[in-house]
């Protein structure tokens, strides 16, 4: 599933190619995504100019004078730029044709993404209750500490709660908890302020690093394979069950927390 760094890499990749460009037409080949693409969307988008491409959590927001196009990549979605006239492949569900000949094409084998419209000043229910961005000044250890008081559940799903902070998915929660030395199954309400301050810093570190690595693949957005965000990373624990810890050498263990695979080190995390 694309996580925040993949979505941010997508935003940075497509932004210079679409901002300031007029949308000639929206061609929908398959409207049955997680929520159906509104039937009126092609008429609403036609002739609109893209003024900016922003990101909120894992949602991409294409701002136009007439409203905002909201796109989510779901579990398997991708956006790529292709020349006008290039034949669509299987699972290419819609095209945004831009003035000048390029097409922003959406591919999604599992169809768990979405393409929706927000009128000016409308706050969509999908965005209404989201927590702060993890790379913003609004996210810090004090916020985690305050929101965790009284919580008996494990700290890992607490960190992944989109109402607490957005965009910290499974990979990066595993990595940040390891770097902060916190067991993923420790009760969220029993983690100290000092350790939450460390955890917030580690979340920022792993996400910034992932985004930086993703930046090397921006060329793939022009005529690429549509998979620019899935970049190789030097992961400490995620996907390394049974392998030696890079710090102490003991074999890493796996837990199932909230039905998610959770890898940790029994010696380095407490």
d(CA 45, CA 69): 8
Burial class (CB within 10 angstroms; exposed 0-12, middle 13-18, buried 19+) of 25? middle
Active site (annotated) includes residue 122 = no
Q: Which of 89, 85, 57 is nearest to 160 (CA)?
A: 57
Q: Which of 260, 1, 261 is nearest to 252 (CA)?
A: 261
Active site (annotated) includes residue 58 = yes
Q: Which of 23, 26, 31, 17 is nearest to 82 (CA)?
A: 17
Coil, strand or helix at 209? helix
Active site (annotated) includes residue 251 = no
Coil, strand or helix at 15? helix
Binding site, annotated residues for DNA: 91, 110, 151
Length, in residues, of the chain: 270
Give the H or E element holding residue 236. none
User: Is the CB of residue 159 less than 8 Å from the CB of residue 199?
Assistant: yes
Q: Which of 55, 58, 105, 202 is catalytic?
A: 58
Binding site, annotated residues: 91, 110, 151
Q: What is the dihedral of CA 151, 153, 155, 158, to 10 degrees?
A: -70
Q: Which of 111, 240, 247, 260 is catalytic?
A: 260
Q: Which of 2, 5, 134, 154 is catalytic?
A: 2
Active site (annotated) includes residue 2 = yes
Residues designated as active site: 2-3, 58, 260
């Amino acid at each position: 599933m694309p996580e925040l760094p993949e979505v941010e890499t997508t935003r940075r990749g497509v932004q210079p190619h679409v901002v300031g460009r007029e949308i000639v037409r929206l061609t929908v080949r398959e409207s049955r995504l997680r929520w159906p693409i509104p039937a009126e969307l092609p008429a609403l988008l036609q002739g609109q100019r893209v003024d900016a491409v922003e990101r909120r959590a894992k949602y991409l927001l294409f701002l136009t004078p007439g409203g905002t196009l909201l796109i989510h990549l779901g579990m398997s979605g991708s956006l790529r730029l292709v020349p006008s006239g290039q034949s669509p492949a299987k699972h290419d569900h819609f095209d945004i044709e831009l003035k000048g000949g390029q097409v922003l094409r959406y591919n999604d084998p599992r169809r768990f993404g979405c393409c929706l419209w927000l009128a000016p000043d409308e706050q969509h229910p999908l965005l209404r209750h989201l927590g702060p961005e993890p790379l913003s000044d609004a996210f810090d250890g004090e916020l985690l500490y305050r929101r965790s008081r009284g919580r008996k559940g494990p700290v890992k799903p607490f960190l992944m709660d989109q109402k607490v902070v957005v965009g910290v998915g499974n990979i990066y929660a595993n990595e940040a908890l390891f770097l902060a030395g916190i067991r993923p199954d420790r009760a969220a309400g029993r983690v100290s302020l000092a350790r939450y301050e460390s955890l917030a810093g580690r979340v920022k570190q792993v996400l910034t690093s992932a985004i930086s690595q993703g930046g090397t693949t921006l060329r793939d957005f022009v005529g690429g394979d549509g998979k620019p965000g899935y970049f190789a990373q030097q992961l400490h624990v995620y996907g390394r069950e049974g392998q030696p810890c890079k710090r102490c050498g003991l074999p890493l263990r796996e837990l199932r927390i909230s039905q998610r695979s959770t890898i940790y080190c029994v010696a380095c995390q407490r």
